Amino acid sequence: METGLTGKRVLVTGASGGIGSACARAFAEEGADVVLHFHRGKERAEELAAELSGGTVVLGADLTREDEVDRMFAAAGSLDVCAAVAGVWPSADVPVWELPLRRWRATVDANLTATFLTARGFLRQLEGDGALILVGSTAGLLGEAGHADYAAAKSAILGGLLLSLKNEVVRKNPLARVNAVAPGWTESAMTRGHVSEEQVGRISRTMALRKIARPEDVARQVVVLASPLLSGHVTGQVVTVAGGMEGRVIHD
């Protein structure tokens, strides 16, 4: 199916990670020119660039830092699409009454503030009918005990930020769109050690599909939302990629 992404210039943040690298590969398969962002994983991003061949640009930035984000967009050149994939899930289960302010601030920064700075940088340079895709989480829809910081940040991305941006981007270009994906448990470095067969058995009790997502499952939805041909009249929407998850098991 034609996506209309051939020759489009696409920035993928977090392209050094599991879901981001799958997004970069999926955009490259559609003939897009992909700009790969990394934070600490320079080698992983460079390996991916070599795999995707000729002309793939690799850029590093801590997306919680305004100066680094500005430098990244200056170096990226003109962009048509941005997939804001980068994010951090602190794995330690800590209830709110024990949650240090330091972790709260770091998690909100690495997810919500990084997404705001990425969206701002992308929209400042946008001239055409671009597409922005945000990445939330089922934690932002259902909450996540022990991870209120992450759930709150992802909820803000999928709610107030997405819905405000949806109505703002049309001031830049009447056909500009912004959408989001909300992945559930997905195989990646982020979930390593949390998705053994036994753990998936437990996690998937509220899911119709009793498996976790592969990064490609999320990446394909990102590409569909980015496509002006497949999603040209879709904006402000959240696509949940979580095997039909209905909620959380709270008690055994």
Ligand X SMILES: NC(=O)c1ccc[n+]([C@@H]2O[C@H](COP(=O)([O-])OP(=O)(O)OC[C@H]3O[C@@H](n4cnc5c(N)ncnc54)[C@H](OP(=O)(O)O)[C@@H]3O)[C@@H](O)[C@H]2O)c1
The stretch among 2-10, 159-167, 179-187, 221-229 that binds ligand X (CB under 6 A) is: 179-187
> What is the distance of C-alpha 40 from the center of its chain?
17
> What is the rounded distance in angstroms from the CA atom of residue 218 to the CA atom of residue 27?
12
> What is the rounded distance in angstroms from the CA atom of residue 154 to the CA atom of residue 176?
22
Q: Is 87 in the site for ligand X (CB under 6 A)?
A: yes
Burial of 185 (0-12, 13-18, 19+ CB in 10 A): buried
Q: Of 155, 188, 204, 227, which lies in the binding site for ligand X, with binding defined by CB under 6 A?
A: 188
Contact 90, 99 (CB under 8 A): no
Q: Of 3, 56, 107, 186, which lies in the binding site for ligand X, with binding defined by CB under 6 A?
A: 186
Q: Which of 55, 178, 50 is nearest to 119 (CA)?
A: 178
Q: Is 49 in the site for ligand X (CB under 6 A)?
A: no
Q: Is 177 in the site for ligand X (CB under 6 A)?
A: no
Q: Of 83, 88, 131, 161, which lies in the binding site for ligand X, with binding defined by CB under 6 A?
A: 88
Q: Is 114 in the site for ligand X (CB under 6 A)?
A: yes
Q: How far is the CB of 178 from ligand X (least distance, A)?
A: 16
Whichever of 10 and 228 has its CB closer to ligand X, that residue is: 10
Q: Is 73 in the site for ligand X (CB under 6 A)?
A: no
> What is the rounded distance in angstroms from the CA atom of residue 51 to the CA atom of residue 76?
19
For residues 89 to 108, the per-residue mask of contacts with ligand X, x marking binding by CB under 6 A and - elsewhere, is x-------------------
Q: How many CA atoms lie within 13 A of 76 on its CB side?
A: 31
Q: Of 39, 147, 166, 177, which lies in the binding site for ligand X, with binding defined by CB under 6 A?
A: 39
Q: Which of 38, 73, 104, 150 is catalytic?
A: 150
Contact 6, 12 (CB under 8 A): no
Q: Of 32, 59, 110, 142, which lies in the binding site for ligand X, with binding defined by CB under 6 A?
A: 110
Q: Of 191, 199, 206, 237, which lies in the binding site for ligand X, with binding defined by CB under 6 A?
A: 191
Helix/strand/coil (H, E, C) string of 44-80?
HHHHHHHHHCCCCEEEECCCCCHHHHHHHHHHHCCCC
Burial of 184 (0-12, 13-18, 19+ CB in 10 A): buried
Q: Is 85 in the site for ligand X (CB under 6 A)?
A: yes
Query: 160: which DSSP letter?
Result: I
Q: Of 17, 121, 130, 243, which lies in the binding site for ligand X, with binding defined by CB under 6 A?
A: 17
Q: Is 150 a catalytic residue?
A: yes
Q: Is 63 in the site for ligand X (CB under 6 A)?
A: yes
The catalytic residues are: 150
Binding site for ligand X (CB under 6 A): 14, 16-20, 38-41, 62-64, 85-89, 110, 114, 135, 137, 183, 185-186, 188-191
